[in-house]
Each structure stands twice: as structure tokens, then as C-alpha cells.
Amino acid sequence: MEIYNVTLIELSSKKEIPCSVEVDEAEISENIKIKTVIDGNTIEVTDFNYLPAYQHFRDQLLLLGYGMKCNGSRINAVQSGLMGATDKMYLVEIGKQALMKDIVHIWDYADIVEFPDIEQQKVFFDQWTKSLSKS
């Protein structure tokens, strides 16, 4: 079990709020389980792969009016199949192949002001993969 201290931003007021997130990184079960409590609301998600678990967790926070200032919340956050059980991912650029130097930790702080949801990240991922076939 890991505890990550992250920064949330209340989207309406832009106020930053510290938040502790508890993550079972497939230690107790075969799944990634992410949990926190914010404003009396318990948010808990489970998924077989790490990035989808993070994305669903992040989207539940968005529904409550909070963005999460972490690398996993960036529009260009992608994860290869081999990374699925880890908290590592790539930050990619259109037209450029993902390289080892592009690997980051999902929970590390990111100074971002836009907070895409799963669908927006999927659109970017599709654009990125198509841009690689043109290179």
C-alpha cells in the first residue's frame, strides 16, 4: 500500500488543496485500487491496469469539481501495455516516438491548468498514434 500526497485544485475557485491518496498497487489483489476522501466523499476505483485506474479516479474528482496536478492528468499521458502494472508512463509529443527519457511517474506534481478527462486523453492518444505513421 502506497500513500501519495498530491495537489488538487478546486476548479471554480482555483484554490489548491493537499490530498492524500491511498493506492494498492496490486499487493493485496491483482488490481490497482485507488482511494481518497474529499469533502466527505469517498472516491475509490479499481482496474487491472494502472493508468485506466488513475484516469477513472481523476474523472471522479473532476465530477466533484477538482483537478489533480499530477503527470497522469496531462493530456499527453500514455502508457504502454508493458507498463500497465506500474505507476510509470510516457509524456509524448505529436509526431515523436516515446523514448525512455519521456518516462515519468504518474503521481509526480505537474504544474498544469487544464484537466482533460478520459475521452480527451483518448482523442490525443489517437492523434499521436496517427502522427507516428506519417513520420
pLDDT digits (tens, 9 = 90+) for 30-44: 889 999 999 899 999
Number of H helices, E strands in the chain: 2, 8
pLDDT digits (tens, 9 = 90+) for 24-75: 986 777 889 999 999 899 999 999 888 999 999 999 999 999 999 999 999 9
pLDDT digits (tens, 9 = 90+) for 85-134: 788 999 999 999 999 999 999 999 999 999 999 999 999 999 999 998 86
Question: Which residue, 80, 72, 79, is CA-closest to 112?
Answer: 72
Q: CA-to-CA distance for 18 and 37, rounded, in angstroms?
A: 12
**What does pTM read for this prediction?**
0.91
Three-class SS of residue 127? helix
Residue whose C-alpha cell is 500514455: 78
Q: CA-to-CA distance for 11 and 83, rounded, in angstroms?
A: 30
pLDDT score for 25: 80
Q: CA-to-CA distance for 66 and 115, rounded, in angstroms?
A: 9
